[in-house]
A and B are shown apart, each in its own frame.
Chain A
């Protein structure tokens, strides 16, 4: 299982619900920053949504301090459009219950 990296977009096989969902976590979660493990200092929010490209379904999720759900969803939608079906299929095939991949894409901070 990869370490949590804030604001970094992750790609995974489709989650159970297709909808844009949010999960809140309290402060104190360990995360990695430049390979150094730190602890979050405030609430974090996990945003996730399923997308489909040429019948290949996949999930994008990100964990961030930002509580602007609308903005995060909009950014995820734009990122999803840039992901090709072949790329999605490759990442989905490598996914398992606990295994996912990070993309080299980060949320833009406002």
Chain B
């Protein structure tokens, strides 16, 4: 496609030409077409305007559609409860070996190999439920404020649901995430133990609690969940444990979006 397709592409003139009124109208129509066109669709080809012609201040993250760029992906890594400075090696969704160095608290990240840049760093707080295999479980998230919150549920490495909480909700009725807590094959768990992981994306100290129910019983009260508000240090609260002998651990996950090399 030509860089630009004008309504009157065959206008021909040089300096000193006396243009007719019609020709002047056609020039205006051409200018209008360029002014009103969207680069990349319609009259102007996507490669008509290079980034060299666009001021840096005009290019903001909000205006870039990373989902279509292909090379952007996210990598979750497990930081444990200590959040200490550590080197992490992970495989990306595309199978690339990525090695990164993360500071305590996950606020500073350095690419060692496998990526050419960092797009964003977000922290996810998680709460884990240990449950008996085969039970149907429901977990919900209540935000302590009207701040918009998303949360996700996963079983092992498989996402099983997600929900949103737009405002303070009554216990467990909003932002529900369903899970059929069947048997999960995992080297760290027995074959009869399932794990329901609730992740909440947050970059601030908003308080939040988890509600839910396990099995055929009714919604468990807060106390049964042992719900706590999020502390300023960023640790997730420990949540429900099915039996007194089950252990629960809270984790903080850092999501780092990187540009693949």
Contact = CB atoms under 8 A, between A and B. Distances in A.
Interface residues on A, range: 20 to 34
A59 interface: yes
B69 interface: no
B16 A16 contact: no
Contacts of B11: 16
A12 B12 contact: no
A100 B12 contact: no
B95 interface: no
Nearest to B10: A17
Contacts of A16: 9-13
B17 A23 contact: yes
Interface in A1-44: 1-2, 4, 10, 12, 15-17, 19, 21, 23, 25, 29
A59 B18 contact: no
Contacts of B13: 15-16, 23
B15 interface: yes
A51 interface: no
B15 A12 contact: yes
A80 interface: no
A99 B189 CA distance: 79
Interface of A: 1-2, 4, 10, 12, 15-17, 19, 21, 23, 25, 29, 46, 48, 59, 61, 63, 97-100
